[in-house]
Amino acid sequence: MSRLARISQSVKSWVYPPLCAGCDVPLTTDRQLSSPFLCRDCEDRLEPIGDNYCRICGQSYEGRTPSRFGCVNCGGRELVFDFSISAYRSSGMARELMHAFKYGKRIPLSRLMGNLMTKVWQDERLHERSLWLVVPVPLHSRRIRERGFNQSHEIAQEFIRRSRTIVGGKIELQLFPALKRVTHSVRQAQLDRKERLTNLANAYACKRSLRFPEKNDFGVLIVDDVITTATTISECAATMRSQAEISTIAGISVLRG
């Protein structure tokens, strides 16, 4: 943090004292800089995913290894991405904060969410690429009009900004809003099974203006606020792979449902 940024933050905190989004206690300037909108006590109440999760879909397991038992979420399913990682469990305070951000439209909480998501860097596999294209899961334009913003886009931006202090210059992160959500014009009930699967897979499309970088050893990071079954990540990955040869596609999220 530069001196100027620090001074500007101090002035802002003097005019609008920053409060913890979990319990409303005032936050010190240092705390606000290191962990926006969350006091130490509230941060301690969040549940990190930890090390014990499925190496494919990111499903978290308590006290047992998924490889021994097979993954209850992705076993037998064909997922189009390579792996998926989430930072925290979607429970208690974490879920409430996400709710306040998305539905309470507290857009500045994107700073908290993007910062929380940097926990995914603990997974070594993210350090194996020198360039990640960061693709937010898109919302349909009608939904963006209702909400006023796309939460995944806001989180992705903050994640990139916050990650710089973690990965330094070794890994380049480029915001790459390549996808759009398209309308289902045909009702699912009118289709046979094969068409239904295709119809669902076509929930997303690549933007026409899409241009991949010349450098071809990039990976794609698909960002969502919450990952539950990882179907959305898989559909987004399939759409990206229909456009280009992409060696690695990973999904990342703040919360795991």
Q: Which residues bind Zn ion (CB under 5 A)?
A: 20, 22-23, 39, 42, 54, 56-57, 59, 71, 73-74
Q: What 3-state class would DSSP assign to 70?
A: coil
Sign of CA dihedral 59, 63, 66, 70: negative
The residue among 56 and 94 lying less far from Zn ion, judged by its C-beta, is 56
> Min. distance of Cβ 130 from Zn ion in angstroms?
27
- Work out whether strand 248-256 and strand 219-227 pair parallel, antiparallel, or are unpaired: parallel
> Min. distance of Cβ 239 from Zn ion in angstroms?
21
> Min. distance of Cβ 220 from Zn ion in angstroms?
19
Contact indicator for 240, 249 with CB cutoff of 8 Å: yes
The residue among 57 and 254 lying less far from Zn ion, judged by its C-beta, is 57
> Min. distance of Cβ 83 from Zn ion in angstroms?
9
> Min. distance of Cβ 148 from Zn ion in angstroms?
26
> What is the chain's percent helix, strand, coil content, to nearest 5?
40, 20, 40
The residue among 130 and 229 lying less far from Zn ion, judged by its C-beta, is 229
Measured distance CA(183)–CA(206) in Å, rounded: 13
Sign of CA dihedral 138, 157, 131, 227: negative
160-182 residues labelled b (16+ CB within 10 A) or e (exposed) = bebbeeebeeebbbeebbbbbbe
The residue among 97 and 223 lying less far from Zn ion, judged by its C-beta, is 97
The residue among 179 and 227 lying less far from Zn ion, judged by its C-beta, is 227
